[in-house]
């Protein structure tokens, strides 16, 4: 148990966090640190609650034990207005993009500006075009979300996430379901935005290759615990068989290919039962 204070340079620190959904324990006493100005990746198999972790950091879910501190503030002790003020400084990119379907691309990116600032329309226009230019989709401003490809939708959502110039962006599975080109474009964008805007990025993903290329630090989570952490290079050469299997994508290993079942031969020979 480390009760140590978080390292001085960490923007988000998670301490002894536990969270369950029904009877299933999603997180069991995990502690993580996310350094300022860096890209930190959370990796792990599907269903390990990676998205849940982002929701805990954003204050949308409450932990059973433990705390999440963002920029010195304990997220779950904040009052609603304080939490909303904190969220204005956090951008989040949802897996689906979560663009508002009844608004054009332009209005989607303008949405946080119109909700939270009193800027004039001409100023908003300038800002929106700048953000769209940053993700390379200035020409798509009049399209509706249902006219966008998955990769474009995510880039628009990214433009919206940086509309209020946040200090941090949370990425929920940014690479899932993307073709190689848009995957590459997104990875490049995440890296570029992080470095040029001085952001802190947290990426939740199970795409080992793309994530390894851009992350500064990787946590691997499985069964509610941190099973490994380090730089991408260190992870590639990890001695743990489990991490080796995860990083290389081998079909069998510590995580078995077969779902637990009784003996194959016995199962085939026991006729008469439906299942």
- Under the rule (CB under 8 A), what is the footprint of another protein? 55, 58, 60, 84-85, 87-88, 90, 92, 94-96, 98-101, 111-112, 115-116, 157, 160
40 beta partners: 202, 217
Q: Torsions phi, psi of 213, nearest 5? A: -65, -35
Taking the alpha carbons at both ends of the chain, their separation in whole angstroms is: 46
Spatial strand order of the sheet with 200-205 comes to: 90-93, 168-172, 200-205, 39-43, 217-222, 225-230
Spatial strand order of the sheet with 73-74 comes to: 24-35, 10-21, 65-70, 73-74
CB of 80 to another protein, least distance (A): 9
Distances (CA, A) of 87 to 74, 123, 143: 13, 23, 27
CB of 22 to another protein, least distance (A): 14
Nearer to another protein, 68 or 90 (CB): 90
168 beta partners: 90, 200
Nearer to another protein, 44 or 145 (CB): 145
Nearer to another protein, 35 or 173 (CB): 173
CB of 171 to another protein, least distance (A): 12
Nearer to another protein, 95 or 104 (CB): 95
CB of 119 to another protein, least distance (A): 16
Nearer to another protein, 60 or 74 (CB): 60
Nearer to another protein, 17 or 99 (CB): 99
Contacts of range 71-79, beta carbons closer than 8 Å, 24 or more positions apart: 71/11, 71/12, 71/167
d(CA 71, CA 31): 16
CB of 60 to another protein, least distance (A): 6
Query: What tokens were used for 158?
Result: 């990214």
CB of 213 to another protein, least distance (A): 26
Nearer to another protein, 63 or 91 (CB): 91
CB of 7 to another protein, least distance (A): 26
Q: Is 196 helix (H, G, I), strand (E, B) or coil?
A: helix
Torsion of CA 220, 224, 226, 231, to 10 degrees: 20
Nearer to another protein, 96 or 245 (CB): 96
Query: What tokens were used for 32?
Result: 């993580």
Do residues 124 and 115 touch, judged by C-beta distance below 8 A? no
CB of 32 to another protein, least distance (A): 19
């Amino acid at each position: 148990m480390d009760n140590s204070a978080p390292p001085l340079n960490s923007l988000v620190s998670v301490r002894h966090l536990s969270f369950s959904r029904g009877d299933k324990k999603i997180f069991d006493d995990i502690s993580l640190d996310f350094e300022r100005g860096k890209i930190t990746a959370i990796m792990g198999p599907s269903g390990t609650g990676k998205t849940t972790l982002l929701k805990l950091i954003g204050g949308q879910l409450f932990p059973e034990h433990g705390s999440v501190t963002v920029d010195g503030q304990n997220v779950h002790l904040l009052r609603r207005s304080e939490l909303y003020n904190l969220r204005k400084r956090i951008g989040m990119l949802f897996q689906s993009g979560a663009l508002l379907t009844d608004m054009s691309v332009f209005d989607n990116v303008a949405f946080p500006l119109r909700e939270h600032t009193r800027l004039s329309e001409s100023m908003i226009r300038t800002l929106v075009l700048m953000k769209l230019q940053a993700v390379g989709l200035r020409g798509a401003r009049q399209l509706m979300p249902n006219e966008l490809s998955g990769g474009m939708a995510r880039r628009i959502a990214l433009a919206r996430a940086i509309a209020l110039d946040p200090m941090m962006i949370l990425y929920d599975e940014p690479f899932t379901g993307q073709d190689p080109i848009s995957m590459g474009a997104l990875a490049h964008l995440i890296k570029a935005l992080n470095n040029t805007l001085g952001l802190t990025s947290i990426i939740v993903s199970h795409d080992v290759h793309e994530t390894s290329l851009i992350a500064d630090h990787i946590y691997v989570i499985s069964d509610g615990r941190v099973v490994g952490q380090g730089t991408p290079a260190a992870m590639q050469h990890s001695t743990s068989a489990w991490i080796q299997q995860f990083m290389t994508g081998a079909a069998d290993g510590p995580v078995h290919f077969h779902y637990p079942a009784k003996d194959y031969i016995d199962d085939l020979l026991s006729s008469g039962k439906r299942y």
